Amino acid sequence: MTDLESTKVEKHNGHQPHHNNNELVESEPLTWRFWRKQRYIVVLLAFFGFFNVYSLRVNLSVAIVAMTENRTVVDADGNISYEQDFPWDPKQKGLILSSFFYGYIMTQFLGGYIGTKVGGNLVFGLGIGTTAILTLLTPLAANHSLGMFLAVRIIEGVFEGVTFPGIHAVWARWSPPLERSRMASIAFAGNYAGTVIAMPSSGMLAARYGWASVFYVFGAIGVVWLILWLLFVRAGPELDRFCSKEECEYIQKSIGYVGAKKIKHPWKAFFTSMPFYAIIASHFSENWGFYTLLTQLPSFLKDTLNFDLGKTGFLSALPYLAMGILLAISGYLADWLQVKGIWTTTQVRRNFNCGAFLAQTVFMMLTAYIMDPTWSVVFITIAVGLGAFAWSGFAVNHLDIAPQHASVLMGIGNTFATIPGIVSPLLTGYIVGDSGDRYEWRLVFFISAGIYLVGCVIYWFYASGELQEWAKTPEQKASEAEQKQLQLTQTTGFVNTAAELKD
């Protein structure tokens, strides 16, 4: 190799393209002492942020059981009567449970777009914080009227709708590609930790202190988190006073950071990209089964399997405990398989996602047929828990195919994926009557199983883990062209005269 070629190779190796980051090593490697890396402080606070996202969302699923429960009242003369705080029928309850998603679907795209402009940290933080404040006002709204209650829930959805797109804008600046799965999955595990804590806690709070306490407690926790998030998290490592210079350089080089440029989104390319449509289909499918159980599982356990309110909260939380634990495992395993070169990014995303969907299809079908108090809980727990591997597939896939546009892609995709949150509770309310008949519930589980299967097929054939051509920056394209020229030079011994003169 000539001196000129050697210089070119060194020059090329000094410029790190998006996925060519295996040679980058931090002087202080990542260990179990995560607090020494500011990016994992961001992950920890994001975990608690998602804890609030879902605890603020699911507490109503348990509280509404107490709000509409028929209580036996015995007066001084021994006469027995029954009373309810709110005499809502199943269709009205379905409307209430789905109302959150009317607002939630409106701001997905907006959250992603704003996140690229002002920083995902602000979008994520203020979205959750405002939802927490509105949660504190929920008892007042419910006692005022059904219309006011619905309005508050819709507005909560508006603000919480920006959270998932917002956090993708954070990951686009903070997550090295070979740590992406574990960082995102640890943070997303907060969703299920929130569900695990909120469901039984809501049941206990409602039984002991009344249903209003459910909203006061979780609303206050959300406000405390907002203060901490705004104090300790910035949009990118270069803006964070707690992030060391060495860590900042490592993150930026590994992701191919080229400065805070104005990002131009290739809108036509978004909507003609089959890998992006595969992500949307998968996200929709996972959310259908997830939202069906998230909003309806307490009612199913109480009305059909005859569990009491306190036990309902604990049993409803079991599937999400399993998912929270498996998310951390799946994220670490996904990164390990890529680091070791066992699977490519595409294989990791496809195999994790579709394997989870096939298993969820099977266990949803078993739930539909068995309808036994013990086995139903076991099958639902396995079905929801295995969804953790799907989240290490589609949920971080936006960052693989187009990291600079990931927050916008998540916003667009989550808009479609929010439709199940609106349709599923309403559909369940119409399918399942007051009696909670098990054959009616069987149809609900069949529908979820079928949607999982369709999502699996689409994702298998069209998913990709590679950076898409339309998502490459001019710097990345120039680097690839230079690399190809170097390979040609090394293979043929031909030296590009123009490149020589340029150098």
What string of pLDDT tens digits covers the 503 residues of the chain? 434 333 333 333 333 334 444 456 777 777 777 788 899 999 999 999 999 998 988 888 888 888 888 766 666 666 666 677 888 887 788 788 888 888 888 898 888 888 888 888 999 999 999 999 999 999 999 999 999 999 999 999 999 989 988 998 899 889 888 888 889 888 988 988 888 888 788 888 988 898 999 999 999 999 999 999 999 999 889 888 899 888 998 888 888 765 555 778 899 999 999 999 999 999 999 999 888 876 677 777 777 777 765 566 567 778 878 888 898 899 999 999 998 899 999 999 999 999 999 999 998 888 888 877 778 888 888 888 888 899 999 999 998 999 889 889 999 998 999 888 788 877 887 888 666 677 888 888 889 899 999 999 999 999 999 999 898 877 777 777 787 888 777 766 554 544 444 44
Backbone phi and psi for residue 158, each to the nearest 5 degrees, phi listed first: -55, -45
**398 near 410, Cβ under 8 Å?**
yes
Residue type, 254: S
Is 14 inside a domain boundary? Answer: no
Is 498 inside a domain boundary? Answer: no
pLDDT at position 6 is 38
pLDDT at position 394 is 93
Is 312 inside a domain boundary? Answer: yes
Beta carbons within 8 Å of 199's beta carbon, 6+ residues apart: 58, 61, 62, 298, 313, 314, 316, 317, 320
pLDDT at position 73 is 63
CA distance 200 to 188: 20
- Both tokens assigned to 231: 């104090």
Is 494 inside a domain boundary? Answer: no
Query: Quick one: 160 exposed, middle or buried, by C-beta within 10 A (0-12, 13-18, 19+)?
Result: buried
- Both tokens assigned to 173: 């600046």
**168 near 300, Cβ under 8 Å?**
no
Is 275 inside a domain boundary? Answer: yes
**132 near 222, Cβ under 8 Å?**
yes
State how many domains the chain has: 1
Is 178 inside a domain boundary? Answer: yes
Residue 122: closest CA among 155, 156, 154, 159: 159
- Both tokens assigned to 337: 């398989």
- Both tokens assigned to 174: 């903070």
CA distances from 293 to 246, 318, 408, 421, 471 (A): 45, 12, 28, 10, 36
- Identify the CATH number of the domain in which residue 119 sits: 1.20.1250.20
Is 23 inside a domain boundary? Answer: no
- Both tokens assigned to 391: 């989240």
* Per-state percent for the chain, helix, strand, coil, to nearest 5: 80, 0, 20
pLDDT at position 14 is 36
CA distances from 98 to 103, 296, 448 (A): 10, 11, 17
Residue type, 163: T
* Domain region containing 443: 32-71+85-255+266-474
* SS3 track for 291-331: HHHHHHHHHHHHHHCCCCHHHHHHHHHHHHHHHHHHHHHHH
Is 10 inside a domain boundary? Answer: no
- Both tokens assigned to 389: 């591997």
The total number of residues written for the chain in this structure: 503
CA distance 170 to 166: 7
Query: Quick one: 482 exposed, middle or buried, by C-beta within 10 A (0-12, 13-18, 19+)?
Result: middle
CA distance 5 to 184: 40
CA distances from 111 to 18, 78, 124 (A): 25, 57, 8
pLDDT at position 439 is 81
Number of H helices, E strands in the chain: 22, 2
Residue owning tokens 């939802």: 131
Beta carbons within 8 Å of 458's beta carbon, 6+ residues apart: 277, 278, 281, 282
Residue 387: closest CA among 314, 323, 478: 323
CA distances from 375 to 291, 360, 468 (A): 21, 15, 44
